Amino acid sequence: MRKKVIIIGGSSGIGKATAERFAREGWQVMVGAPDIEATQQVVDNLEGDGHIAIEVDITSDAQIEHLRNQAAEQFTDFHTLINCAGISRSVPLLDPDFEKWDHLLQVMLYGTVKVCRALIPLLQDGGRIINITSIHHDRVAYGSSAYGMAKAALTQLTRALAVELAPRNILTNAIAPGFINTPMSVKEDGKNEIETEWFQNNYINNDHLPLKRAGRPEEVAGVAWFLASPDASYMTGSVLEVNGGLTVTF
């Protein structure tokens, strides 16, 4: 029987690459993201047929309910849920605009929690949940308090779900990418941080990044594929670092 995967945040970057990998492996894919045009374009270009694009802003309870209803009608008893929704924005904790700071948690933490609450009842026993966290789940950069807090909480959510869902043999793991060259690498000033002198000097020239390059989205997608495969059948509550060796140099 053809397996099914739901990917939240699959309109670009790691989520898009993950959708492409699962489709290439013969799975039916549902991709959810706020930009329905970009999401539909991803789905239209996937290998195979029967894939579904759905517009969902995971900060909206109404849209999450719509996602649940669509999954119940067209994707019930699916095998894998991948939470990949993310935004990258530098907002200091004391920024006057609290809503701007809080929005990162609303998307990456509370949005993910609400997606899990909505979709886990539809997930088949023995299924998988894969959360995309970040190296920032245990490190800090200026202006990244909300981002880091959301990712740290997402790691703890992964571990909590591993315990709570073990009776159903649902395996829950996380992936913590480092520098991956995606649209999120382009900051508010329009510059891709991977291409800056700062990145070259700090991470390449000074050997803080052993592999001396940013990762590619498909390199994270491959790890997600592994976690959904039978080869990961005795893994739950784990966080896999995909960062080119970055965290071993600190």
How many residues make up the chain in this entry? Answer: 250
* One pLDDT digit (tens) per residue for the chain, 250 residues: 899 999 999 999 999 999 999 999 999 999 999 999 999 999 999 999 999 999 999 999 999 999 999 999 999 899 999 999 988 788 888 888 999 999 999 999 999 999 999 999 999 999 999 999 999 888 888 888 999 999 999 999 999 999 999 999 999 999 999 989 887 777 767 788 888 888 888 888 888 889 999 999 999 999 999 999 999 999 999 999 999 998 888 6
Q: What is the pLDDT of residues 33-47, one digit of tens each?
A: 999 999 999 999 999
- Note the pLDDT of residue 225: 98
Q: 3-class SS at 5?
A: strand
- Note the pLDDT of residue 57: 97
Strand partners, 132: 175
Instruction: Give the chain's end-to-end CA distance (angstroms, integer).
Output: 46
Highest CATH level, class, for 4-182+215-249: alpha beta
List the chain domain ranges: 4-182+215-249
CA dihedral 59, 63, 68, 74 (to 10 degrees): -130
- Note the pLDDT of residue 74: 92
Please work out, in degrees rounded to the nearest 5, the angle formed at the alpha carbon of residue 211 by the alpha carbons of 183 and 181. Answer: 5
- Note the pLDDT of residue 98: 93
Q: What is the pLDDT of residues 134-147, one digit of tens each?
A: 998 888 888 889 99
- Note the pLDDT of residue 184: 75
Cβ-based neighbours of 241, under 8 Å, separated by 6 or more = 135, 176, 178, 247
Task: Report CA-CA distances (Å) from 86 to 48, 188, 212, 228, 233.
Answer: 27, 15, 25, 21, 27
- Note the pLDDT of residue 250: 65
User: Is-catalytic flag, 110?
Assistant: no
Which among 110, 142, 147, 234 is annotated as catalytic?
147
